[in-house]
Structure 1
Amino acid sequence: MSSLVRRVLPWLAATAGTLVFVLLIWKGPWWADNGHLGKQLSPGVGAVVTGFRTTVVAVGAGIIACFGLYYTDRNLRHTREKDRDQAELTREGQVTERYVAAVQLLASEHLTERLGGIYALERILYDSPRDQFTVTKLLAAFLRQHPTACAEDHQCGVVAEDVMAAFVAIARRPRRLDRAFSINLRELKVCGAEVYGYDEESQADLESVDLDGACLKGADLEFANMCGAGLDGANLEGAILDGVNLAVAKLRGANLKDAHLSRVNLSSADLTDATGLEVESLLAGDFNLHTKFPPEIMQDERMKKRLSE
């Protein structure tokens, strides 16, 4: 019923407008000034009537032009919306095709094809924000299914190139998501990984990533955002952690021997039973009363003085 009304109403409005227009042309002058015009059509009266009717015609033409512009603009907007929707559907279809092709390459037995699949997925991370969560989870699953040659004692072996590429793709993904989401990368072995940023704007994003037991020996994580990351039992020996945000991170039992900790943020981080810590390195970073250090570190007079300031 409402659809019928919407179709009939414009016709009724147009008919009523035409009727009013005709009446104004015909009787309008006398309606406007009947007391002076009279019934005799003298030259003066004719000039007034002609002028009135010309004005009515001009106003009517302006109104019609305005309606024409309105409907033209509405049609153009509708066309643009349809074109935009069609372009979005086309783009989504292309992204889906690229995604499927990348997944097929990821399952290949050949290293070069797997690398191609990883790089294709990394490109999708940048081109399609809505697929960032799915692609990141897929790359994480790939990493969990492809263990490296690192031994159980965290002695580093040869890290597969595709494993390193997938980890870097996750770490360097665009920082678009409204909130961090957990990524399971437990026991990952990526010794010597380079995911550093040139500044805080290009930093790697490993926020809330679960890297418990991971081997990141010698990794360059400079400026990385690892807020809330799980690093319990992780091997960070010799890792470059300058400027890294490790606030609220879990580093219980982590190996931080020879790690670079300049300007590292350890606010509220848990380093209970962490090994390899040196007071001089810790003093070059930031921490607070809620940061948990091993007892021998907490007993150092320099740490006590720093915490009391």
Structure 2
Amino acid sequence: MMAHLRRTVPWIASAAGIVVFVILIWQGPWWADRAHLGKDLGPGAGAVVTGFRTTIVAIGAGVIASLGLYYTDRNLRHTREKDREQTELTREGQVTERYVSAVKLLASSNVTERLGGIYSLERIMHDSYKDQFTVIKVLSAFLRQHPTACSDEHTCGSVDEDVMAAFSVIARRPRRLDQAFGIELRGLKVCGVELWSSDPDEAADLESVVLDGACLKGADLDMANLSGASLIGANLENARLEMANVSMANLKGAKLKGVLLDYANLCAADLAESEDLPLEGLLKAAFNKHTSLPDWATDDERVKGKLNE
């Protein structure tokens, strides 16, 4: 019913406009200046009638031109919208094809093909906002399921190149995803992973990532963002966390022997039950009264001095 009305109303309005236009041409001069116009038109009265009718015609032409421009603009907008929708559909189809191809490569037995799949997924993650969640979940599942050279006893060897690449891609995810969803990497074994960067904008971003029980032994995480990360029971022995942001991270039971903490931000981090926290390294880091430290550390005069600063 509404669609029928939308089609009918413009025609009724156009017909009414034509009738009004004709009436104005016919009787308009007398309605406007009846006192000076009689039945018999002299030269002066004829000029008035001609001028009035010319004005009405000009106004009518202007209205018609304006309506023409309006409908042309509306049609152009409609065409552009259709083109945009078609372009978006085409792009979605291309992204889907790329995604399917990348996942197939990820399941390959050839490490080179798996690397190609991982980096293809990274490109999709940066190109398509809607696919970022899916890509991160796929890469997280790949990391959880893929065997590594690190044994359960953390007798660490070298980590496979594709595992290293997948973890690096997650750490380079677009920053707008930081609070979008949780990333579950519990028990991940990426000992010796290198994620450091001299450019703060390209530093590893593992904010709020769950890495409970993960093996990051010997990992290079200089300048990495681990704010709010869960590292309960994680192995960070000999890892590099220089200038890293570890604020509000949970490190209960984490193994920290030999970890480098120079200029790291440990504000509000939970280190109370961590193992082998190096005191000299702690003193080189930034911490505050909200940082949970082992009792033996809070009893140290140098630590007390920093807390009172």
TM-score normalised by the chain length of structure 2: 0.95
**3-state SS of paired residue (1:37):** coil
| Deviant stretches of 4+, over 6 Å | none
Residues 35-58 of structure 1: CA distance to partner in whole angstroms, max 9, x if unpaired? 112222111111111111111111
2:44 maps to 44
Match of 2:186 in 1: 186
Deviation of 1:261 (Å): 1.7
Question: Is 2:258 aligned against 1:233?
Answer: no
Which one-letter code corresponds to 1:53 in the other structure? Answer: R
By how many angstroms is 1:108 displaced?
0.9
**CA drift at 1:292:** 1.0
Q: Partner of 2:113: helix, strand, or coil? A: helix
Q: Which of 259-268 and 73-82 deviates more?
A: 259-268
TM-score (norm 1): 0.95
Query: Does residue 259 of structure 1 match 2:249?
Result: no
Q: For 1:260 and 1:132, how far apart are their aligned partners in 2?
A: 33
Cα deviation 1:96-144 (Å, max 9, x = unaligned): 1111111111111111111111111111111111111111011010111
Count of residues paired in the alignment: 309
Question: Does the alignment pair 1:268 with 2:268?
Answer: yes
| Alpha-carbon distance in structure 2 between the residues aligned to 1:182 and 1:254 | 20
Unpaired runs of at least 5, structure 2: none
Quote the Cα distance in structure 2 between the aligned partners of 1:285 and 1:81. Answer: 55
Query: Structure 2 counterpart of 1:62, which letter?
Result: G
Aligned to 2:220: 220
Name the SS for the 1:176 alignment partner: helix
Q: Secondary structure at the match of 1:36?
A: coil
Relative distance call for 1:193 and 1:278 in structure 2 (3 A) is: same
Q: Deviations over 1:61-117 (max 9, x none)?
A: 111111111111111111111111111111111111111111111111111111111
Range moving further from structure 2, 178-187 or 225-234: 178-187
Inter-CA distance 71–149: structure 2 relative to 1 (3 Å threshold): same
- The whole-number CA distance in structure 1 between the counterparts of 2:202 and 2:21 is 67
* Alpha-carbon distance in 2 for matches of 1:173, 1:21: 65
Q: What residue is the counterpart of 1:200 in the other structure?
A: 200
Is residue 37–residue 45 contact of structure 2 (8 Å, CA) maintained in 1?
Answer: yes
Please tell me whether the aligned partners of residues 245 and 264 of structure 1 are also in contact (alpha carbons under 8 angstroms): yes
Matches of 1:71 and 1:165 in 2, distance apart? Answer: 55
2:274 maps to 1:291: no
In structure 2, the partner of 1:93 is 93
Amino acid at match of 1:163: V
CA RMSD of aligned residues (A): 1.6
SS of the residue corresponding to residue 223 of structure 2 reads coil
Identity of aligned residues (%): 65
User: Which residues of structure 1 form unaligned runs of 5+?
Assistant: none
